[in-house]
Amino acid sequence: MQTDSPTAGQTPTILVLNSGSSSLKFGIFTQVDGDETLLLEGSAQGIGRPDGSLRIGSPDGQVLVKQDHVLESQTDALKKLSQLLDERHYAQPAAVGHRVVHGGPHLRAHQRLTPEVLQSLREAVHFAPLHIPPALALIDEAMKIFGDVPHFACFDTAFHATLPPRAAQLPLPRRYVEAGVIRYGFHGLSYESIVRRLGADLPPRAVFAHLGNGSSVCALHEGKSVDTSMGMTPTGGVPMGTRSGDLDPGVLLYLMRVEKLDAAALETMLNRESGLSGYSDGESDMQALEKRAAAGDANAALAIEVFASAVRKTIGAYAALLGGIDLLVLTGGIGEHSAEVRKRICEGLAFLGLRENDPAGKVRVIHTEEEKQIARHCRDLLDGGASG
């Protein structure tokens, strides 16, 4: 594989960094025949945990780096990636694109990272405390390593800027709405990539469900987001791997008054100890839960049933909102790989014409392409176009 410069028909490369709360995915893309093509990809999983791992390889399956138990932080993974690029004489990327989960109330469009944009991100940390701090640390390190090229932020909230007021505004006094306490929605880059992939095949009324360690459901009308399950932060919506999803606000008041939990303790519990992990005494991985359930673990079985039921209820609500569903798309790690969860979600939706493995194709499993979507936005912005 040619590594020191683009081959004929290729354009300069773009490095994409997809930062999660405990993971980092990355890819190097070039443009071929009008779209982004992957040259190199990798992922760092379990960052900060003893079972962490780093994998870097080429799209044809060649493994270039495979290491375990080595990742103290996302910046550690980025340094190893940079070292590999130097060793294999990859050309300097023309730009670096960063997935940023939340930009707060003032950053709702994909854009170049400037000192002013970075300051706005620092001020928005409380909107996504699990995601923004490691993203800022990664951006800082990437700017040190790749300091001679422009860096761009692509926001998961940008896709949901089309939410109408009835979906975006929360039932709170208006002064809080004006301060940015609204529904933002997330997984927007994933949803954007599916809209682009479907193209003219996307029907007017669609529901997309991005199901993974973080999960959300989105209602789309004519390709635009009109409602979504996550709220002001990525903690809301359906129960997730370690996040609670929606709760009766009275539960939080109870925990504060009776259990004397402060904001920091609540944040830890809601984001790191709840959801599927709470039901199953610490297990958040769906594949592991399915194995435990098959072996007779009632708590694991309950976690799976609650998750699938919550997704199914949300899909049903969006059917009422849209006046029907022409297409249901399941994506993300669970959506793409768990046949059991897909089956449970679709059970009971036949009255909407939604059946798994239906030849009519109203339920589809589509691989999300967040990194490619980021590369597309960066290419547009690098070329002076608008993106968002």
On whether the CB atoms of residues 213 and 333 are closer than 8 A, the answer is yes
Q: Which residue has the tokens 């006094």?
A: 173
Per the DSSP assignment, residues forming a β-bridge with 224 are 221
Distance CA 73, CA 133 (A): 12
Cα distances (Å, whole numbers) of residue 179 to 106, 173, 232: 10, 11, 12
| Cβ atoms 128, 271 nearer than 8 A | no
Backbone angles phi, psi at 54, to 5 degrees: -130, 130
Phi, psi of 225 (to 5 degrees): -70, 125
Annotated catalytic residue, options 140, 156, 285, 326: 156
Dihedral pair phi/psi, residue 12, rounded to 5°: -55, 150
User: For residues 119 and 106, is the Cβ–Cβ distance under 8 A?
Assistant: no
DSSP secondary structure code for residue 138 in this structure: H
Residues in the chain: 388
d(CA 215, CA 230): 8
Find residue 330's DSSP bridge partners.
209, 365
Residue 140: active-site member? no
Q: How far is CA 249 from the centre of its chain?
A: 25
- The Cβ of residue 314 has, within 10 Å, a number of other Cβ atoms equal to 25
The residues, any chain, with a CB within 8 Å of residue 222's CB and separated by 6 or more, are 204
Cβ atoms 316, 207 nearer than 8 A = no
Q: How many CB atoms lie within 10 A of CB 70?
A: 12
Rounded distance between C-alpha atoms, residue 198 and residue 379, angstroms: 21
Q: Catalytic residue positions? A: 156
